[in-house]
Every structure is written in structure tokens, then in C-alpha cells.
Chains A and B, each alone.
Chain A
Amino acid sequence: MLVRPGEKVKIKVKVNGIWYEREVEPRKLLVHFLRDDLGLTGTKIGCDTSTCGACTVLMNGKSVKSCTLLAVQADGAEITTIEGGDGKLHAIQEAFKDNFALQCGYCTPGMIMQSYYLLSENPSPSEEEIREGLHGNICRCTGYQNIVKAVQDASRKLRA
């Protein structure tokens, strides 16, 4: 398909259970599509290089950095963002609160989405596995210990 500069492409994406049909520039990043086109600002942007993980969402069940994908690459996909809950707090969200696992909160949505993916892949990770699993998510405030504790706590509760 040839798309000229300034032209848009129609995409259909299921985000948090709802299908959205939008026209987007092919160069638009998925994170800008979620935030600017759909108004889902829970997903944050912390860097320009896909290093910090603040924009982590799930695409077809796998965690992705939504600044690394173009919106058009998500055509037909199912995306879950931090806003994708059912109205009640998820065990991971509760655990972040209970364990003082956030300070400024900016990395928190990405951390929670990555933790969700980590626990879905490995329901009872060791401390080292948690640290490895969150390696791509930067937090500048907490020093990570309380985040690790929160993931351990959530892991226990989800298995109970």
C-alpha cells in the first residue's frame, strides 16, 4: 500500500474491550494514538528511545512499549492499557498501594502493566526474576525494593 505524506490510513483496534476505528498518519506512534486520539492518558511517555517503559501496554496479551510500535501495526490487535480494569482494583494495583511501590506515580502504569505480563508468564517469580522482568521499566523515585515487594505480594494473592 502506498501512502503519501499527509495521507492517513484507516485502522481498527480493540482497546480495553472496545473497537475503535480511526484514520491515522502511518508514522503515528501507538502511544500517541492511545493518548491523543483515544484520550487514554494513563499510558505515559518518559523517553524517546524505548528505554524507560512508562508506555508499556499489552498487545494481544504480550507486553509492548507502545512508543516502539506504530499505530498501524496495531491494526486488528487487542490492546490493554492501565485503564483496562473492571472498575475494581486488580491485586497488582492493590499491592502497589499496600507496599508503597510508587512515589511520583509516573512510571506506575507501565510498571503495573509489565508486572501483569510478568505474572501471567510466571505466576511465582523469584526476586531475581522480578528484577529481570522489570529491567525495561525505569523508576527514578522508589529504588525498586517496594515495587519488587508489591509484585511478590500480588503473586501470593493471585495464587491464593
Chain B
Amino acid sequence: MTYVGKPIKRLYDDKFVTGKSTYGDDIQINSLYAGFVRSPYAHARIKSIDVSDALKVPGIVAVFTAKDLQVKEGIGIWTTYEDPKQWKFLPRRPLAEKEVKYVGDPVAIVIGTDKYNVRDAIDKVNVDYEKLPAVIKMEEALEDKVLVHEELKTNVAFDQTFNGGNVDEAFKNADRKIEVEVTNNRLIPNPMEPRGIISRYEGGFLTIWYSTQVPHTARAEFSRVLGIPASRIRVIMPDVGGAFGSKVNILPEDVAVVLSSIKLGRPVRWTATRSEEMISSEARHNTFKGEVAFKTDGTILGIRGELIVDMGAYLTYTSPIQPVIIPLMIPGPYKIQNISVRSRAVYTNTPPITMYRGASRPEATFIIERIMSNVADELGIDDVTIRERNMITNTPYVNPLGLKYDSGDYLGLLREGVKKLEYEKLKAWAKAMREKGRKVGVGMAFYLEMSGFGPWEFGEVRVTETGDVIVTTGGTPHGQGGETGIAQVVADELQIDIDRIKVIWGDTEVVASGMGTYGSRTAAAAASAAKVAATKVLEKMKRFAAKMLKVDVEEVKYSSGEFEANGRKVSWNEVAEFAYKSDEPGVFEQLILPGDVTYPYGVHIAVVEVDDYGIAKVSEYKAYDDIGVVINPALAEGQVHGGATQAVGQAILEEAIINEEGQLAVTYADYLIPTAVEAPKFESYFSEKPHASQYPSGAKGVGEAALIVGPAAIVRALEDATGKRFNHTPVRPEELIE
């Protein structure tokens, strides 16, 4: 039996369906509880902090402010993918010392024996503030009238122009041009498990249980910030209840908890409330304003404009990615040769931005897909034709900003997809329904995604003395089912039963190194590292088999659990047992597999209906994708369903609205996540002729695809339903109603 390509059941579901799952907050360990005193102002000077009343609350152990918690360095940025030299920023300290910069900025950490007492004491910390002028809107922040960080002398954190081809020439040669303004408003990733941390320091060693997607990276950052060698820090990732990119981010609160545990010599834990989660990891919020040059046949000649990306009050570990990657991906799957985009990132007195499923590619896709549909409308041609006319027809292809697209048949997939998903039929049906008075619409959008994100991943495969196999991966699945995919790949490589494989991840003391799960990279990077390690382990097993069979290793043939030479056979289990009794026990291989980006792509279609109150419902969502080799179609489909549901949220429901008083959406009552009632019915297909990536697994990745393209498809459907035009997310009921 082979496993790759089949909808194999997830390996470790039992603990989740029986309540034996152990997320950070479920860990039962004798520890103190932490909570945070937060700023009620968007911008204010801290005149004084009086903790005396708080300390009188029974059970309160300590209240620390900035002066108590000194770090070696502030929290930095993700140097694997981001260049600090391009940025103006102040590394973030665990607590605000002189000024608070947004509503929710932590100013003190309260530690006590009981979570209720900690709540009581938080209310009794008296902070005397002097309110300062705040700047909330990024357009106003650009003017530098109110500075978020006086020391930086500007709110502009990043300013770079991305040029390709000759955009002035393109505009000269164009028949027509239009202006476009495209906005993705601010979102909150909102994994169901709020972030949390437990820190224990003893004998000079630090153990951190951490709701993260990057245990090794977090260890390195904690080491840098605290000045404790990484070898003395162990980061353990328990079960993690979703992350969607937001748990790569390292919070100042996390550092405050760790420092407190060191200072007190006692374990300290903190689990964010939902409201804290909702200001801890926000995402998107950027606007592209520009113009597009095109010919009357729909050929797009050039795009120029300005991109403004909100950073919130501080840079976070992950926010610098977006101002760089959005411009690079704006050309998308289209042969647009001339582009010039000035990209600026600005500070505002709002909660810091992190990253969320797709990070940059949803924005770039929304911008280019809106451009395609805007031009199509301008010329009166349809959405498929405009894309056909501009689609890249040969790969590999280098886009005008230097990205090298690896493989694919974009045009072929567009045509196949439109047919398979019955786009034209649905369009005709919607038109007929509209004639009967229903506000029904159908929209399509195409995407080209960059995924995989090297630079490397770790994999180890170990055969035990019983012949069972332990795979240790640098990937860090937290819901996607990546561990099952990795096991499928290894089971095929070793031709053994998948039930004999155990996959381990997420503990820096068990996994030698690792990058982690983000950027749709696990099926490509992590599964490939495990696959290559498995190949090498099989070679080792063959050498032991050769010894047993007393032949040269070249004579040994292996098939489905049996090694054979000269008509004699030994079983997989016998060889494993033999190996462990030999003078070189321990059959394992581990390696770091280098890798690069890869490019999945696809076409998605949304069907919407808007009622008389302007409430939109996405009734159907259909996807046709080429994600390279599909390791497990059921898991891949699950990623499409989940991503598309988040796309429904982005397109019509979700927005972190902020004003001078702070963020207005800090609970599920005012930040609307799609429920089973709002979620569409799904159809998801994968190309029957996939274009593999360069990774040994051949996979390209699917984790982010539907949230990358979904908002554009849904917004187009809303336009079809209402006849109105929207170049932003979310589209609100008041805009949809007549």
C-alpha cells in the first residue's frame, strides 16, 4: 500500500476528540499567574506608577514595572527574512517605560497565586498619565505632525521603491489608463487558543512552554533578548490551538513573564484573554493608490503607485515582511513588464501589526485581481478574457521585480478551472436570478502564491529496535495535519505501515533544529527533509541487511518490508533488531535540507446573495488549485475550506476598527468570525496534472491559498450581485444596501 495522494486519516486525533489534548493553559504545573496593566490611552506619558494598593491584595506576589525588568536587548525582527538595515525602529522592551503608544500597551505585570486575585490587583495599580496627541490613521502619520517615536524623528519606518521595466514608457504607449485605490483593512487572526506562556527557571536553565509556531526561533530570540545562551533555554511547543502566522510573533508580554519567573525564582504563567489576544496579533491594513496603463484589447502595460502599510505602534518580529513582499507579488501570474511601486511602512498609535495567513500575498493578490477586474469593467470585457490576455504562458519565468516563478501552466489551469467549477453556468444562473429580483452574484479570481520559504528545514528518521520509525521534524504542525502528511511520505519511502511511524516536533531539546510551520511550507520543506532522511536510513538498513545476508550491499534489494539477496530474505524487523544488537546501534539519519520558494496557483469562485438589509451570504465557494504533488487530498481540502472561511470573514465581516479611544473590536461579540451559519458550502479540486516543486516531496503547499485569493473572488461576486464597485475589504452591509 502506498500513502501519498490518499486521504489518510489524521494520526493523532484521539487526544483531541477525548479532551486529552494539552494546550499551554492545560499544563498542570505549580506556578504563579501573571496579568497585565494596560494603557487606556493611545499616546501618553507615564508620570508615575503606584503599585502599593495592588500589593495589598491577598495572594499578590509582585508587581513589576519597566524599571524592574531589564533586558539585554529589545525584541528584534525576523532576520531570516527581514533586513534590519532597511528599517527605522526601536527594539521593543517588555513594558512601556516613559510613554505608552497604543491603547493596550502593557505598563506593568501583576503576579499572584490565583488568576482572580491577579485581576483584582490589576485594577488597583494606579498609573498617572499625561495624555499626548495621537496619530491613528496611517495617511496622517505620513505627515509626521505627531510622532509615535520622537527618537526616530519620523513615522516612516521603511521607504523603498520597487522598479521593473520602464513604467514611464508603458504609460506613454498606453491606449488608456485608470486610477485605482485598493485597501485591505485591519484584521485579527484569532486562533481559537489564545496565546500563552509558562516559564520556569532553575539551576541556570530556562524551560518555556509556549504557544508558538517557531520554538527554535523563539529560543534564539529569547536568548538574544535575555542574554542567556540558547543552550540553556528549552522551548516546548505543547498542542497549539491554531496560529495562522500570528504565533511566530514574540510578544513583550512573553518576555515580561520569562523575566518575572527568573526574578522570582518561581514558575510564572500567562494565558491571554480573548481581548488581549485581539490586540496582540493584528494583520493587514494597507492601501495601494496608483494607476494602470493598458491597451484597448485589455493588455496591461504598466502599473505605478504608492503602497502604504500600517505597522501599528511598534515593529514586531513579523511585520517587516509585508512592505517588501507585497510589491514583489503585485505582478502575480500576469506578464506585466513595467511596474513602479513606492512602498512605505508607517507607525501609528495603534496595536502592532504581525502576520496572518498569506502575509503580503493576500494583499498583492487583492491589488492585482482588483486591477484586472477594474480594467475589464472599463473595457467591457469579462473576467476570464482579461486574465487570459495577460497570463504568463511559459515557466520558469522571471517577473519584472526579479522573482523567479518555478513551474506551472497558469493559462491551462484557468481554462480548466473555469470549466470544472462551472463558472459560466453559474454566471448565467445569477443573471437570471437577478432578473427575478434576487441580488445574487458570482465572482472569480486567480492567484499565484509564493510559498515554501526556505532557507532550510530539519528532518530526522530513526528506526527503533522493533522496526518502528520515529520521525523528528523541524516543521511545527498546529492543526494543519502536516504530521500525517510527513508520515505518509516517510511510509512510502520506507514501504512500511504508516501506523509504525510516530512524528515528533516542537521541543528544542528533542528536535536538533528547525524553522517551523508557516508560509505553507511544511508539505514542501519539512516533508522533504524527512523524505531525504528516510532514503538515507533505508540505505543504512540495507547495509545491515547485507551483513545479515553476508553479501555486498549492492546486491541487496528492498521491497515492502523485506530485504532480499540471492533468493534469501530478511525482514525489516529482523534487520532493525540485528542493527541494535550490532556494535553500531541506533539506526538514524538527520539532515538539514536547503530549499527555496515555490509557486502554487489556482482559480477560485464565490457565489453570494445580498438580502434587503445589505447582509451578504457567501453560499458557495469553489476552488481549483495546482499545489504541486498532493500528499493528502483531504488535508489539503481542509486547508482550502478553512482559508476560504477566513476569506468570507475578511470580505464581509471582520475588521479591527480603531479610533483615538482605542480598538472598538476586542471580543467575538464585536469582531465577527464566520460561524457554521455564515460559512459557505465548498467544492475543492486539485489539478490532475500538477506541476511539482523542486522539493523532493514535489509539494508546493496549500495552507494559505484560499485566504490569498478568496477575498478578491468574494468581492467580485458582491459587485456582480449589486452592480456596485468595491476596492476594499471588508464590504459592509451599509455599502451593499441600496
Contact = CB atoms under 8 A, between A and B. Distances in A.
Nearest to A28: B116
A83 B19 contact: yes
Interface string A32-48: 10011001111111111
Given A131-B676, A141-B242, A82 B19 contact: yes
A157 interface: no
Given A89-B14, A102-B17, A106-B192, A6 B673 contact: no
Contact of B13 (A28, A54, A102): A102
Contacts of B634: 100
A93 B641 contact: no
Nearest to B681: A145
Interface size class of A (residues with CB under 8 A): 35 or more
Nearest to A42: B19
Interface of B: 7, 9-10, 13-23, 25-26, 28, 58, 115-116, 190-194, 239-242, 244, 273-275, 478-481, 634-635, 637-638, 640-646, 667-669, 673, 675-677, 679-682
A140 B681 contact: no
A72 interface: no
Given A52-B668, A106-B241, A145-B679, A138 B192 contact: yes
B679 A41 contact: no
A119 interface: no
Contacts of B7: 100
15 contacts: A35-B25, A42-B18, A45-B25, A51-B667, A82-B17, A82-B19, A89-B17, A103-B242, A104-B242, A106-B192, A106-B242, A140-B242, A145-B679, A146-B641, A148-B676
Nearest first, the 9 closest Cβ-Cβ pairs linking A and B are A42-B19, A104-B479, A106-B241, A143-B641, A105-B16, A82-B19, A51-B668, A41-B26, A103-B479
A61 interface: no
Given A41-B26, A100-B634, A105-B241, A143 B19 contact: no
Contact of B676 (A81, A140, A147): A147
Interface string A99-135: 0101111111100100000000000000000111011
A49 B677 contact: no
Contacts of B668: 47, 49, 51-52, 138
A98 B10 CA distance: 9
A140 B17 contact: no
Contacts of A112: 17
Interface of A: 6, 25, 27-28, 32, 35-36, 39-49, 51-52, 54, 81-83, 85, 89, 93, 96-98, 100, 102-109, 112, 130-132, 134-148
Contacts of A25: 116
Contacts of A48: 273-275, 667
Contact of A42 (B20, B193, B667): B20
B18 A85 contact: yes
Contacts of A108: 16-17, 21
Contacts of B17: 82, 89, 93, 96-97, 102, 105, 108, 112
Contact of A135 (B25, B192, B676): B676
A115 to B, nearest CB: 11
Most buried by A among B21, B26, B275: B21
Contacts of B242: 103-104, 106, 140-141
A47 B274 contact: yes
Contacts of B28: 39, 41
A44 B193 contact: yes
Contacts of B26: 35, 41, 44
B18 A146 contact: no
Given A32-B115, A103-B242, A138-B673, A144 B679 contact: yes
Contacts of B16: 102, 105, 108
Contacts of B116: 25, 27-28
Contacts of A39: 28
Contacts of B643: 143
B169 to A, nearest CB: 46
Given A52-B668, A97-B17, A108-B17, A140 B641 contact: no
A142 B641 contact: yes
Given A89-B14, A105-B21, A140 B679 contact: no
B10 A97 contact: yes
B695 to A, nearest CB: 23
Given A27-B116, A146-B638, 16 more contacts: A39-B28, A46-B192, A46-B194, A47-B668, A83-B19, A102-B17, A104-B479, A105-B17, A105-B239, A106-B192, A131-B676, A135-B676, A138-B673, A142-B638, A143-B679, A144-B676
Contacts of A109: 19, 21
Among B242, B637, B676, B677, residue most surrounded by chain A Cβ atoms (within 10 Å): B676
Contacts of A142: 638, 641-642, 645
A25 B115 CA distance: 12
A127 to B, nearest CB: 9
Nearest to B22: A41
Contact of B669 (A51, A81, A134): A51
A6 B240 CA distance: 34
Contacts of A93: 17-18
Nearest to A108: B16
Nearest to A27: B116
Contact of A104 (B9, B14, B193, B275): B193
Contacts of B9: 97-98, 100
A23 to B, nearest CB: 13
A105 B478 CA distance: 9
A50 to B, nearest CB: 9
A2 to B, nearest CB: 19
A42 to B, nearest CB: 2
Given A97-B17, A141-B242, A103 B638 contact: yes
A155 to B, nearest CB: 15
A5 B523 CA distance: 54
Contacts of A36: 115
B268 to A, nearest CB: 16
A43 B641 contact: no
Contacts of B23: 44, 106
